[in-house]
Amino acid sequence: NPFYVTELIATGGHDVPATVRDAVLARSGRLSGRAQRVLHAASVLGHVPQLSLLRDIAGRDAEAVAECVAGGMLEIEGEVVRFRHDLAQQAIYETLPLNDRTRLHRRALRALTDRGGDPAALARHAVEACDADGVLEFARAAGDRATKLGAHSEAAALYASALQFAQKLEDVER
C-alpha cells in the first residue's frame, strides 16, 4: 500500500506502526491540539469540503489549518480542502469520541443549512447529530430527489434513515 509506506516514512521513528491507522495517528499526534481539532472537523465533513466551511466548523483558526497542511495531513487546492488519502480521513473520524462527533455534525448541519447545502449531505449530518427534525426534513427531500434521478438504492437508504424518527410523523406521512 503506497499510502502506508508514505506514512511509515513520515513517522521518522524506529517503531513500525502495525496499521495504516496507527501510522496516520502517529502523524496527527505530532500536531498541536488546535490542529487536531481542525482534523476532527475535516473528518466529519468528509470528502472535499470548502475551506471556508472547514474554518466555520473548526473555529476560524487559519494557523491550525496551515499546520495540518504543513504536517502532511490535509491538502488545499483553491477553496477545496481534503485529506491526503481517504484512509487518513477514516482513521481520524474513527478515533473521535461519540460526543465530539455528534457536536461536530451539529455544527456542520447548522453551517450547511445556512449555506443552502445539498439535502443528502444535510441528511447525513442530521442523522449523525441525532437531529430528528433535520433527518425528517432533509432525508425525505434528498430521497425524493434521488428517486427523481433514478438513484433508487440511495433513495431507499435516505428514506430508511428518516424511518428511524418516523414516530414523530402521522401514519399517512410514514
Q: pLDDT tens, 83-105?
A: 988 888 888 999 999 999 999 99
Quote the pTM value: 0.81
pLDDT of residue 55: 87
Residue-level pLDDT at 102: 96
pLDDT tens-digit profile of 102-135? 999 999 999 999 998 889 999 999 999 999 999 9
Residue 16 pLDDT grade (very low, low, confident, very high; cuts 50, 70, 90)? very low
pLDDT exceeds cutoff 60 at 160: yes
Among 7-16, 63-72, 147-156, 163-172, whose mean pLDDT is lowest? Answer: 7-16
Angle at 12 between CA 10 and CA 15, to 5 degrees: 115
Give dist(CA 130, CA 123) in Å, integer.
10
Q: How many CB atoms lie within 10 A of CB 142?
A: 25
Mean pLDDT score across all residues of the chain: 85
CA 58 to chain CA centroid, Å, is 12
